[in-house]
Amino acid sequence: MGLDDRKLAVLRAIVEDYVATQEPVGSKALVERHQLGVSPATVRNDMAVLEEEGYIRQPHTSAGRVPTDRGYRLFVDRLSRVKPLSPAERRAIERFLVGAVDLDDVVHRTVRLLAQLTRQVAVVQYPSLARSSVRHLELVPISTTRLMLVMIADTGRVEQRLVEMPGPIPADDVLDLRRLVNEKLVGTRLSETPPLVQALVDEATPDLRPAMATLSTVLLETLVERHEERIALAGTANLTRGGLLDFQGSLRPILEALEEEVVLLKLIGEVEPSTLRVRIGDENEIDNLRAASVVSTGYGPGSTIVGGLGVLGPTRMDYPGTIATVRAVARYVGDLLAQN
């Protein structure tokens, strides 16, 4: 029942070969390409055990072995050594990220970088509003009854929203409103604003109250309810590498999943403190992604986390390399955010 060291070595060899060649691997090829120190027959016996335990399987009777999701899991947990980034990769990361002028810019560059380095689909979540604090609120008159509300968060996010006021609103009132909301809300985390917004309405002078009431509704929608999480995506063309063998022949379900923001958020948005998550095939909760693996992690300045990022690829992926890249990129982006 327990797998001895050699069986584990065999499993590792199978995973590595299969990832590299994309073809079922047989006992003979295995002993030729790895120094296992035993004969093919012995390897075959080990393979039989591994298969019985569900770590590998045979596509057809007379074919070599292929890792199962469970096999990849074991590989990731116990058999893969960290693959250090190549200097070239390190340089690429730095080159790509310096010179970003903007949060938008940072996110776009990051997602393209990730896609390029891992040669897979990359997903980056903008810093979550729920984890941001209000830095400044601005009210800009658009017409007599319309204001543009602009919220700037400490994470660099900027959200805007049109506010339709109940009646014409004088310039002085706009200034008052702006002063009030800024005094009350600047510096607080968005998730903690609702009671404060309510207080704003209660404390408003009678002549400002209707305006403040309308404004507060929009504030709540913008800051909290709408949960305006944004997401950037890149590298979908990478799904077509490996010519339809990956993803059991159809890109359809994958592409469909990638179009749903909700799904993407679920993929990379659920971030526990500084952990890196690997979800392999069946482990994905989303049915459409049962043929894919996702490597994701949180990022943020210092040790705090403001959002998630990750990549999606075939279960047959280079886990050590991908994990190293995702981790490194997340750290670089965090450092970049810390500088602001």
- Residue 128 site contact among DNA, its own copies, none (CB < 5 to 8 Å, cut-off depends on kind): none
In angstroms, rounded to a whole number, what is the distance separating the alpha carbons of residues 96 and 77?
Answer: 31
Partner interacting with residue 258 (select from its own copies, DNA, none; CB below 5-8 Å by kind):
its own copies
Q: Which does 252 bind (CB under 5 to 8 A by kind): DNA, its own copies, none?
A: its own copies
Q: In this structure, what are the phi and psi dihedrals at residue 314, rounded to the nearest 5 degrees?
A: -65, 155
Q: Among 217, 236, 274, 304, which residue interacts with its own copies (rule: CB under 8 A)?
A: 236
Q: Does 67 bind DNA (CB under 7 A)?
A: no
Q: How far is the CB of 222 from its own copies (least distance, A)?
A: 10
Among 10, 15, 47, 117, binds DNA (CB under 7 A): 47
Q: How far is CA 93 from CA 108, 123, 295, 319, 340, in A?
A: 13, 16, 18, 19, 19
- In the complex with DNA, the residue whose CB is nearer, 14 or 204, is 14
Asked if residue 12 binds DNA (CB under 7 A), the reply is: no
Q: Using CB under 7 A, which of 64, 156, 298, 313 touches DNA?
A: 64
Under the binding rule (CB under 7 A), the answer on residue 40 touching DNA is yes
β-bridge partners, 151: 137, 159
Query: Is the C-alpha dihedral spanning 44, 50, 54, 56 positive or negative?
Result: negative
Residue (51 or 261) nearer to its own copies, CB: 261
Neighbouring residues of 284: CB distance < 8 A, sequence distance ≥ 6 = 290, 292, 293, 294
57 binds its own copies (CB under 8 A): no
How many residues touch its own copies under the rule CB under 8 A: the total is 30
Query: Residues 159 to 188: which contact its own copies by CB under 8 A?
Result: 160-162
